[in-house]
Structure 1
Amino acid sequence: MEPTVRTHPTRRLPTALVLTAALLATGCSEQSDDGREPAATESSGTPHGYVEGAREAAEEQSRLILGDPGTGASRVLDLVTGKVHESAPVTGADGLSTDGRFGFFHTDRGTHVVDGGAWTVDHGDHVHYYRAAIRHVGDLPGGRGAEIRSDAAVTAATDPEGRTTLYDRTALEKGEVGPARTLDGVHAGAVVPYEEHLVALAGDDESAEVAVYDRSGRRVASPAAACERPAGDAVTRRGVVLGCADGALLVSAEDGTFTAERIPYGQDVPEKERATAFRHRAGSDTLTAPAGERAVWVLDVTDRDWTRVRTTGPVLAANTAGEGSPLLVLESDGALHGYDIATGRHTARTEPLLSKTAKTPAGAAAPVVEVDRSRAYVNDRTGKRVYEIDYNDALRVARSFDLDIAPGLMAETGR
């Protein structure tokens, strides 16, 4: 399926970058229109990092998984080739999350798993990028509202009552759900796989304590840290961040020993202005979260520092690439705004990206801002379009993709 891709004015690129882009496009052009990848040839050998059924690439292979909550239609937009792949419908989905490879559509029947066919393996001193076939894996049983968290070995699904089911992620990679087992007890918020363990909050929605389990479910550590009214979590290179009433807890591991460090706001924050849902670029240690109607929290995990950035209008979504990049805020005027995090200064603004009629229906998912190493993506549900933004070039609209579905749900894979 070929979308209408609108390329917007750009600055001239250095010759080396143009040649690199051409080589990448050539290497990826062998993928078939249905998202299948050709098998490796004998001449390619078995290089370091080889994954059966996948092709290794020189650069990140970003794809967007898209869903239309109204019709149930789903698509996968390959951001390298610009092609849109039609995938099986997922009816009743009102939410979509990802672990960097799999998309998790949340429905009242459970969680439907789609393999986006693009992922990154970070070995610390080097990184591997892969692309493979796009396919529907199956359903994780349960009702609506499950929190899904993964690492390379396990996927943890925590239901709204705090019960957690563990799935073998290698089975998902083979295209099947596989056997499952239930973690004992109930927990507040999501159970997060981290450093070959499971990080959880044992308690209820008012007060909980950090608990660390091994993969068999045995409690192996209890860092002395409590979290009042827990909400929100994120995995960073520095550890697992857990949102609490007074700020956040950072749970980290060194030489097998787990510790929990408090990162307070440093001020009294009204309940409606607390950070309760984090977004960030994969691999970044800078987190964002709404801070009430007209502000955004930025948490620098490295410096253990919170910054509250005031916005010009009501916030619909926010994100940042971190590491000196601007804070990106999609506001109620339909435009994407850029802010300098250190000073709070408003630095850039796009023309309105969301259609004027793009009022999110009650209970429907709000638009999102997805961020990778060089671009940001904004989904326009009513306009049936996705925008690609160069956030390092004054928020220039680099490309826009016209679609045949209303992409009310969007998540980026390949990271």
Structure 2
Amino acid sequence: MRRSPLLSLTALPLSLTLLTACGGGVSETPAAPPSTSTAPEATEVGAAKARVAVTYDGGVQVLDASTFEVLADVPYDGFTRLNPAGDGRHVVVSAAGGFHVLDAGAWSEPHGDHSHYYTAQPHETDVVYAAEKPGHVVRHAGRTTLFDDGTGKVVSFDSEHVAHDAVEEGEAREYTTPSAHHGVAVERSDGSLVVTEGTEEARTGIRVLDAEDRQVAASEACPNTHGETVAAEETVVIGCSDGVLVVKGTEITKVQSPDAYGRIGNQWGTDESPIVLGDYKSNPDAEVDLTTRVSLIDTTNATLRLVELPGGTSYWYRSLGRGENGEGVVLGTDGQLHLVDTVAGTVTRSTPVVAPWEVQEDWQAPQPQVFTMDGTAYVTEPATKEIHAVDIETGEVYASGTLEVTPNELTAVPGEVTE
């Protein structure tokens, strides 16, 4: 856990708006070299400075993670999505034209037995990885993997090269699935690639490719394939509408849900824990499935169990995360952040954070979201335009800020190399 307690405050608006440039699961994060684009002057500081990024209708704001001061406001058209790029510094913005690389303006540079820390004005770089429908971004084993839903094209590269346009520099691996679909791919440290299989009409399973893109394993036992995460020992978990697929090396095991329809479409793993946290939906006919249970998948024995949240509170897939010690974190519609012991399969604490809210039918509508990093759960509250920082270990809401925009998507970067 790394944080500095402070009083609740109101974030400061930014008077300067940056112009958009045009161009071209818990993981190891390598050092981030300076961005190749024309960047503001850097300032050396005494410690790492984390950054939080939020989308709103019209762009992305980059915030100081300690004070929630608005450091930059970058315009984007249409609905945008956010992911950390994997280098501890940059954010990948899925927007019109492809995967845009945004410099969050905080990074570290190793120097012998220590590191030097720097900050600069956050800004959009001139790097855009072209995509018809930019989809999932996966970070694992020092690699960042992009999936284009419009073409089925997979691009992966060393995370430290994200702002140097790895494709243009010939540093990227490229692969295209037989048919375009809403998919995802995970590259492991041995160069193998776990990639979904499907078409625009249906997603049916996965394939495992070796470093030369030769198929070494496959499974079609995964209807409505969606989502991924990586657990201990590089075990990949892929969601299905009736359970999950667990991939260890070239061995694929199906873990069946207890219900005929038991959809696990989103998963959260850590490199240290063999247990994966997942969402769980069991009503295929509901417009909004107000599920009250989360799933725990034990990858050591390929078993699945469900945990009921207190008071039958519901949640949605963007209100889950994991703590530094493997805890499951779930923000319920009761406004409380529920801590799940993933080993015992119990809820150990519930902390009020936001006002009670309702899950919307439109998944793109602003709703409370959670992003966990370095022992903190960052939580947005669109109804009040607020953002909160919660100490996962103690449950303390140690900082809050109010924005001038309604926050939607949420992510963060540590501004340092994480081991």
TM-score, length-scaled by structure 1: 0.70
**Is 1:249 aligned to 2:245, yes or no?**
yes
Deviation for aligned residue 1:378: 0.6
| Aligned residue in 2 for 1:270 | 260
Q: 1:177 to 1:398 in 2, by over 3 A?
A: farther
Aligned CA distance change for structure 1 residues 84 and 150 (closer, same or farther; 3 Å) = same
Q: Is 1:140 aligned to residue 126 of structure 2?
A: no
1:381 matched to 2:387? The reply is: no
TM-superposed deviation, 1:324:
5.8
Residue 295 (structure 1) shift = 0.8
Aligned to 1:103: 91
In 1, Cα distance between equivalents of 2:350 and 2:204: 41
| Pair 1:139–1:206, CA change in 2 (3 A) | closer
Contact 2:99 2:128 in 1 (8 A): yes
Q: CA deviation at 1:384?
A: 1.5
- Report whether the alignment pairs 1:351 with 2:339: no
**Contact between 2:324 and 2:374, CA under 8 Å: does it hold in 1?**
no
Residue matched to 2:204: 207
SS of 1:222 mapped into structure 2: strand
Unpaired runs of 5+ residues, structure 2, are: 9-14, 17-29, 35-41, 282-290
Deviations 1:329-378 (CA, angstroms, capped at 9, x unpaired): 21223332334445554443333514769968663254322122322111
Q: Given the superposition, is the C-alpha separation of residues 153 and 390 from structure 1 closer, same or farther in structure 2, using an over 3 Å criterion? A: closer
- Structure 1 counterpart of 2:188, from 194, 199, 204: 194
Q: Which amino acid aligns with 1:277?
A: N
Shift in Å, 1:192 = 1.6
Aligned to 1:333: 334
Q: How many residue pairs end up in the alignment?
A: 356
Cα distance change, pair 135–270 in 1 and its aligned pair in 2 (3 A)? farther
Q: Does 1:318 align with 2:307?
A: no
The alpha-carbon distance between structure 1 residues 99 and 127, as it changes in their structure 2 partners (threshold 3 A), is farther
TM-score normalised by L of structure 2: 0.70
- Aligned partner of residue 173 in structure 1, secondary structure: helix
Letter in 2 for 1:200: V
Distance in 1 between residues matched to 2:276 and 2:400, nearest whole Å: 26
Q: C-alpha deviations, 1:362-399, integer Å up to 9, x for none?
A: 63254322122322111112312111112222x22111
Shift of 1:406: 1.6
SS of equivalent to 1:172: helix
Indicate if the aligned counterparts of 1:7 and 1:399 stay in contact, CA closer than 8 A: yes
Q: 1:330, 1:369 within 8 Å by CA — same for their partners in 2? A: yes
Distance change >3 Å, CA 167–CA 243, structure 1 → 2: closer
Label 1:276 to 1:150 Cα distance change in 2 as closer, same or farther (>3 A): same
Moved more, 275-284 or 311-320: 275-284
Match of 1:66 in 2: 54
Q: How far apart are residue 262 of structure 1 and its match?
A: 1.8
Distance 1:282 1:131 in 2: 28
> How far apart, in 2, do the equivalents of 1:98 and 1:116 lie?
10
Distance 1:159 1:82 in 2: 32
State the shift of 1:410 in Å.
0.5
Distance in 2 (CA, whole Å) between partners of 1:82 and 1:284 is 31
Q: Is 200-209 or 174-183 further displaced after alignment?
A: 174-183
Task: Give deviations 1:304-326, integer Å, cap 9, x for gaps.
Answer: 4433111221113222326463x
Q: Is the 8 A contact 1:310 1:344 kept in 2?
A: no
Q: Note if contact 1:211-1:222 (Cα within 8 Å) is conserved in structure 2.
A: yes
> What is the CA–CA distance in structure 2 between the aligned matches of 1:209 and 1:318, rounded to whole Å?
25
Query: How far 1:276 sits from its partner (Å)?
Result: 0.9
Which of 217, 220, 236 does residue 223 from structure 1 map onto?
217
Measure, in 2, the Cα distance between the counterparts of 1:361 and 1:231: 18
In 2, the alpha carbon distance for the partners of 1:385 and 1:59 equals 26
What's the counterpart of residue 306 of structure 2?
A: 308
Aligned to 2:22: none
8 Å Cα contact 1:164-1:186 kept in structure 2: no
Amino acid at match of 2:213: R
User: 2:266, 2:114 → 1: CA distance?
Assistant: 28
Percentage of identical aligned residues: 20
Q: Quote the residue 2:284 is aligned against.
A: none
Q: Amino acid of the residue matched to residue 91 of structure 1? A: D
Aligned to 1:92: 78
Structure 1 position 195, deviation (Å): 1.0
Distance 1:61 1:359 in 2: 34
Give the deviation of 1:233 after TM superposition. 0.7
2:251 is matched with 260
**1:56, CA displacement in angstroms?**
9.6
User: Is residue 231–residue 237 contact of structure 2 (8 Å, CA) maintained in 1?
Assistant: yes
Equivalent position amino acid for 2:233 in 1: R
Superposed CA RMSD: 4.0
Amino acid at match of 1:192: V
Alpha-carbon distance change, 95 to 209 in structure 1, aligned in 2, over 3 angstroms:
closer
Letter in 2 for 1:106: S
| C-alpha contact (below 8 Å) 1:111/1:144 kept by paired residues | no
Letter of the aligned partner of 2:133 in structure 1? R
Name the SS for the 1:88 alignment partner. Answer: strand
SS in 1 for 2:162: helix
Q: Identify the residue that residue 233 of structure 1 maps to in structure 2.
A: 228
Q: Secondary structure at the match of 2:352?
A: coil
Q: Give the corresponding residue for 1:28.
A: none
**1:357/1:286 CA distance change after superposition, 3 Å:** closer
Partner of 2:23: none
**Alpha-carbon shift at residue 67 of structure 1 (Å):** 1.2
**Of 327-336 and 94-103, the range deviating more from structure 2:** 94-103
Residue number in structure 2 paired with 1:13: none
Deviation of the 1:296 alpha carbon: 0.7
Change (3 A) 1:321 1:281: farther
Q: Secondary structure at the match of 1:315?
A: coil
Q: Distance in 2 between matches of 1:129 and 1:283?
A: 27
Distance 1:370 1:152 in 2: 20
In structure 2, relative to structure 1, the CA distance for the partners of 1:209 and 1:281 (3 Å cut) is closer
Q: Matches of 1:190 and 1:129 in 2, distance apart?
A: 35
